[in-house]
Amino acid sequence: MTDVADPADELQQLLQSAARGQLLLAVFSSPASAAAPHIRVDVRPVRLKGSAALQFAARTTTQEFHSNLSLADAVLHLQQLADGRFRNIRIVTSHGETQAVAAKNGRWKLHQKLSSPTSSPATDTALPLHDRHRNHLIPAGQPCPFLIHTGVMTADGTVRTSHSRKFRQINRFLEFIHDVADALPADRTLHVVDFGCGKSYLTFATHHLLAT
């Protein structure tokens, strides 16, 4: 365990890992203020039009908002998040995991755990075998734009382990629509209503199925 006088030092290490493609996950939690707009922010690497970027998933008590930022823009946003907004920061890279906890005096306590050659950090890995072999309407292993942008898939089409249940839910939902697709009216425009109470996975999935 080590103390860091300035959280920007640890943040700089995080950003350097991100720039090298080593960042797997960053989680900002335990807001410093009860009036904070977000209770948690998850950060994951994504690729946008072939370029590396970071996806920020900011949660309130009822909703989650996504934004994708280039690495250059993400640097500033990460600095803002680490500058007293949250008291707990979890950083997972390909080399290991760091847990940073802010003490009452503002100093940071760091708990670091390095990955062994036979283990990997507890974060997203490949989809379990039983999910890879099922014939889904959106198959695993084939990049799907809306699933990539919402963090369910990596850029190469791999379904993240932490989103495997959501991946199955999306495909099961699409099976219901697929079963009745032939009965939908073809002589007028279909209207799909999103009530805005979640992250719109199923709305995007419906558009994907009907459009393709």
Segment 46-62, tens digit of pLDDT: 877 778 888 898 988 88
Sign of CA dihedral 20, 70, 45, 83: positive
Q: Residue 3 pLDDT > 50, yes or no? A: no
| pLDDT at residue 77 in the model | 86
CA atoms of 19 and 8, how far apart (whole Å):
16
Does pLDDT of 130 surpass 70?
Answer: no
In this predicted model, what pLDDT tens digit does every residue of 60-96 receive, in sequence order? 888 888 888 888 888 788 878 887 888 898 888 877 7
Q: Mean pLDDT in the chain? A: 78
Q: Are 145 and 181 in contact (CB under 8 A)?
A: no
Q: Per-residue pLDDT averaged across 181-201, rounded? A: 80
Q: Where are the domains of the chain?
A: 2-114, 129-211
| pLDDT score of 19 more than 70 | no
Query: Whole-model pTM?
Result: 0.54
DSSP string, 110-166: EEEEEPPTT---SS--PPPHHHHSS--SS-TTS--HHHHHTTSB-TTSPBPGGGHHH
So what's the pLDDT on residue 189? 85
Task: Name the percent of the chain lying above pLDDT 70.
Answer: 81
DSSP state of 182: G
